[in-house]
Chains A and B, each alone.
Chain A
Amino acid sequence: MLLRAAFNFPARLAVLATASLVAMPVARSHAAEPSLAENITCEIQRIFEQNRKAVVRVQANDAMGVRLGSGFFIDPTGLIYTHAGVVLNAGNVTVTFNGTSLPARVLAADERSGIALLQADCISPFIRIGDSRNTAIATPVLAIGFPEDRESSASLGMIAGQDRQHMGQYFSTTHIRANMPVSRGEGGAPVLNLNGEAIGIVVARINEGGSCHILPIRAAEKIRNDIARFGVLRHGWVGVEVEDSPEPVNGTTAMITALNPAANAAGQGLQPGDMVNAIGTTPVASSEDVIDASYFLTAGEPADIQITRNGQSLSIQVTPKIHPLTPAPALHAEAPVQP
């Protein structure tokens, strides 16, 4: 009786109200909080929607017919990165975006890197440039391109590794390999990280397109900087052959074996037998490391080469020549672009 009296109707009402006040926010927080899958989906869709308008279809004509590829704006003045294969030795270049087609000038078409730089006279949306050095394996990436004759579409993938060669052929610089499906027509498509920044450009498919090779955006920016500063490409060349020595010396096995007289490397102080420790600011530990380090040399711009000679560390300043494989200036190249 006493208990029943103590737990009378007002007391029961108070308990019920307190319990519901405690339970409601908990239930509400559970209901409002999206799952991880929903978060990822929303984020990817947001990146795609934000950047798809800055992706263009690039078209050019050659004697064989029409070439179609993808590209993207990298600044608001209509500067475009695309695949060199779309515009190399072709004419009548046009870009289509936002439903309109515009003529574009070829500022540079570089076979060495595999990309081209175009200029369209328009105010354009653009994709921000990211840092392609922060691309660890298993990083998710998103490509936006124009597969064949379809509208712009997105491919989601993951960085699978960094390659210096493919089927025995060395690249001009280390390429990113991504497990990401790509189709014909997506050459030149931007590859974005999940911050919506461009970290690379699709330059080749692997096998049937289940994965692809990506030129790091840092390597593409070398082309853009050359055009901005000089109006032409200025790939540097020192004229040095290296091989791996049997034993490492001072942390490197990269040994100079030959000097090309056309580049006058000998005249600048280098000798066969020198062990290369660094080219510019890029350290060298093996002969393969010189590929990446030398890609960023600029002709006519002095660079320090750290070497070990007879057990002694030396720094030799060389002025690279124009790389023999640098393409001739593009016919339509005009004033330097803004970096």
Chain B
Amino acid sequence: MDNEDSITKLLRLKRYEQPSEEYFQSFLAEFQTRQRSEVIHRPLLQIAWDRFSSMFAMPPVPKLVMASSFAAAVFAAVFVLNWADDGTSNATFATASGTAKWDSKARSAQGQKSPAVQYVLPARPVSYASARSF
């Protein structure tokens, strides 16, 4: 019984026991310092992965929607790559044939000289009249 009483008293005393003021002042600063040091000392790859995964963190989406979106993206990528390939092959053909406009455009773009401009006003009139005849 005595022990119980003494424990109870002790607990009552502990309830009113508080750390010193300095403890509370340094607690926040120490916490932030620890947090920063954790971030700084983490490997870069891990940081990047965390950011990447947080970027794509989405609310739960049905698997069917995810699959169809992925399929659409793949289809678009294939289409764009195929179109670009066609343009390249046309240009190659035109250059080989030497007649298509791609070729001429390419040649003109490569710096053919612009035609000379002649502003007309001669220094003497054009005349073929022989003197004193008709």
Which residues of A pack against B, CB within 8 Å?
61, 64-69, 83-86, 111-114, 147-149, 165-167, 169-173, 175, 182-188, 202-206, 209, 212-213, 215, 237-238, 240-243, 254, 279, 287-288, 290-291, 293-295, 297, 325
Contact = CB atoms under 8 A, between A and B. Distances in A.
Contacts of B125: 114, 166, 171, 175, 203-204, 213, 215
28 contacts: A64-B116, A65-B115, A65-B116, A66-B118, A69-B120, A83-B121, A85-B122, A114-B125, A114-B126, A148-B119, A166-B125, A172-B128, A182-B121, A183-B119, A183-B121, A184-B120, A185-B120, A187-B121, A204-B121, A204-B122, A204-B126, A205-B122, A237-B134, A243-B132, A288-B131, A288-B132, A293-B134, A325-B128
A238 B121 contact: no
A184 B131 CA distance: 29
Contacts of B123: 204-206
B130 interface: yes
B46 interface: no
Contacts of B130: 170
Interface residues of B, number: 20
A155 B91 CA distance: 52
A291 B134 contact: yes
Given A213-B124, A215-B125, 15 more contacts: A67-B117, A67-B120, A69-B119, A83-B120, A148-B119, A166-B124, A167-B124, A170-B129, A183-B121, A185-B120, A204-B123, A205-B121, A205-B122, A213-B125, A238-B134
A172 B127 contact: yes
Q: Which 10 A-B pairs have the closest CB atoms?
A: A294-B134, A65-B116, A184-B119, A65-B115, A185-B119, A69-B120, A187-B121, A187-B120, A114-B126, A172-B129
A288 B126 CA distance: 18
Nearest to B115: A65
A45 B126 CA distance: 32
Nearest to A58: B120
B120 A65 contact: no
Nearest to A214: B125
Contacts, number: 122
A165 B133 CA distance: 14
Interface of B: 115-134
A202 B121 contact: yes
Contacts of A170: 127, 129-131
B contact face: mostly helix, strand, loop, or mixed: loop
Given A183-B121, A202-B121, A85 B126 contact: yes
Contacts of A112: 126-129
Contacts of A243: 132
A279 B134 contact: yes
A148 B128 CA distance: 27
Contacts of A169: 124, 127
B124 A204 contact: yes
Nearest to A185: B119
A261 B129 CA distance: 19
B134 A61 contact: no
Contacts of A186: 121
Contacts of A114: 125-127
Contacts of B128: 111-112, 172, 325
